[in-house]
Amino acid sequence: MKNLLARGGIEFLAVLLGITISLYIDQKLDESAIAKNESSLLSDLQVSLNQDIDYAEIILDKIKVSLNAQEKLIKFSCNEVDDLNSKDLATLFKNVMEGSSSLFPRYGVYRSLVSNSEMKYIENQELKEKLISLYDFQFKRYENIDPIITNRYQYSLGDFLVNHFGFTTQQSSTAYMIINKDAFCQGTLRKEIMKINGMTKIVYKMVNGIKLSMNTVSGLIDEELN
């Protein structure tokens, strides 16, 4: 009887040990799968971010070109108008209109993370917070102001340049342009440029802030992957 009980106890312990080992292996497999899933998600997100960083730099360069042209037109004196030719003026106007360039971030990977509840796989809390701040706040604030500035450029300033100088961004020739001296000397051109100047500077700061945040997030992802 004692041998039977001992044998039964050993068999029970063996079964229990087998179950424990099986659960341990399953847990390790789950942890490995989660780690691989997190790594894959972060890699995809970093690719998207790096593309947006490059895109943001292009937009910032265009806005800089616009602001430089705006400053030249704002400072342009009435006495200088006679020395201005249509080609140079058209170049200034085209450069000013670069300020309407918009940043369109790639939301795909982030939205997939959120909609599929996969943010839980990202263990770095700082990274999570930076992601949420970037996509749900910084991008959203930018998207709220972008249509306003675009409208100012395309319609308010655009209509003014067409009506007073015969200029459009689509034209390939300056043959139909006029150099409207009154628009310079009476300050109406300066007034129109000033309407967009302040807002353009705000947009530049916003896009630059977004770029800096994207660089920070990309750096945190690097730390996680390495």
Q: Residue 94 belongs to what domain range? A: 41-225
Whether the Cβ atoms of residue 134 and residue 210 lie closer than 8 Å to each other: yes
For residue 65, the model assigns a pLDDT of: 98
Q: Nearest-CA neighbor of 204 among 98, 51, 45?
A: 98
- The alpha carbon of 205 is separated from its chain's Cα centroid by a whole number of angstroms, namely 12
For residue 112, the model assigns a pLDDT of: 78
pTM for the structure as a whole: 0.81
Work out how many domains the chain is built from and give that number. Answer: 1
Look up residue 166 and give its two tokens: 């015969």
* Residue 196, in any domain of the structure: yes
* Residue 189, in any domain of the structure: yes
* Residue 13, in any domain of the structure: no
Look up residue 71 and give its two tokens: 């400053």
* Residue 15, in any domain of the structure: no
Whether the Cβ atoms of residue 214 and residue 182 lie closer than 8 Å to each other: no
The secondary structure of the chain in percent helix, strand, coil, rounded to multiples of 5, reads 85, 0, 15
* Residue 23, in any domain of the structure: no
Residue pLDDT tens, the chain, 226 long: 555 545 555 555 555 555 555 444 444 334 444 445 667 788 888 999 999 999 999 999 999 999 999 999 999 999 999 899 999 999 999 999 999 999 988 877 888 777 777 777 788 899 999 999 999 999 999 999 999 999 999 999 999 999 999 998 887 667 779 999 999 999 999 999 999 999 999 999 999 999 999 999 999 998 888 8
Whether the Cβ atoms of residue 134 and residue 207 lie closer than 8 Å to each other: no
* Residue 5, in any domain of the structure: no
For residue 11, the model assigns a pLDDT of: 57
* Residue 116, in any domain of the structure: yes
* Residue 118, in any domain of the structure: yes
Terminal alpha carbon distance of the chain? 60
Per DSSP, 80 falls in state G
Residues near 50 by beta carbon (within 8 Å), at least 6 away in sequence: 218
